[in-house]
Structure 1
Amino acid sequence: MTANPLSAEAASTKIAALFDTKSAANNAAERVCYEAHLKRGQVRLVHPYEAHFGRKLEPENDGIVRTAIRSHLMMGTLGVVIGLAIVGILHRQGIEAVIQSPGPAAGAAIFLGLVFGMLLAGLATARPDHQLVITPVREAVQHGRWALLVHPTTPEQCNETLRALRNTTAEVLRTA
């Protein structure tokens, strides 16, 4: 589920719910699957003290790689276009340095636009909003709690998941 054209992940939104007991987590998992019409692979439980649950949090390694490639290509290209547009505007305004050296000015604009575009793409790929879910889940699991991880692929599944979890005793977390 994504409105982000840079993302190639099928389920870019992450929802987590934290529970104190296994039965509460299992009941919530069943309820979410049923009410949000999710497949079993979209709902995963993390056990207390589970060491290697990163794959459950970010199951789409291929999607993340495609997101990195797509975002870097798109943002790098956009940066170059914006850089050249700025040089064009400066040239039309009669800026002496650009008029006397249009080649170096265009080269600098291409370089800087590409660099800034790639930096923004790196930020988009890193998905800092995912830390809002990853960090609390990691801490809860380290302190003996259960975590339910949900990877909705549509806005409807996301809304239904949140609605199903609203009536539980869980602490619910969500990425953008």
Structure 2
Amino acid sequence: MLGQSADGQRGVTVEISVTVNGETRTGDVEPRTLLVYWLRDDLRLTGTNVGCDTSSCGACTVHVNGESVKSCTMLAVQADGEDILTIEGLAPSEDEMHPMQEAFRANHGLQCGYCTPGMVMAAVSLLEENPSPTEREVRLGLEGNLCRCTGYHNIVKSVLACAGQASD
């Protein structure tokens, strides 16, 4: 179908229907639109950050069908029919945080906060795969997510705390 792009040019668009944070969302997207931009620009879910556009930093990490995915590596049309969880949908309610969010808060697992949404999403996925990781396993499991402030010690401490372990 033909539609009008943001720059006013007419181009081909594809209708997609995606479950985002438990709610079915539909939209017309250009086939080349990255999932991260559809989430941010069209759905206004701005907790998913764009850090590099090259899959190097992980700031855009979301869950697609329960798997941790860097949303700058996936086209929005590839998400058609899929189930996506963003940082906005992670907490059980507006009044309480997800245990990983609480662990990051309690253990000072953030500095500037830019990497935090992607880091939290990756950490949740990590604990789903390995509920009792060692410090080394946490460091390896999060190596695709970069913290430019180099707050890794407290990030690892937060993940281990959420897993019910202590770290030094």
- Shared fold (TM-score greater than 0.5)? no
Greater strand fraction, Structure 1 or Structure 2: 2
- Alignment TM-score, normalising by the size of structure 2: 0.22
Greater helix fraction, Structure 1 or Structure 2: 1
Q: Which has the larger radius of gyration?
A: 1
- Alignment TM-score, normalising by the size of structure 1: 0.22
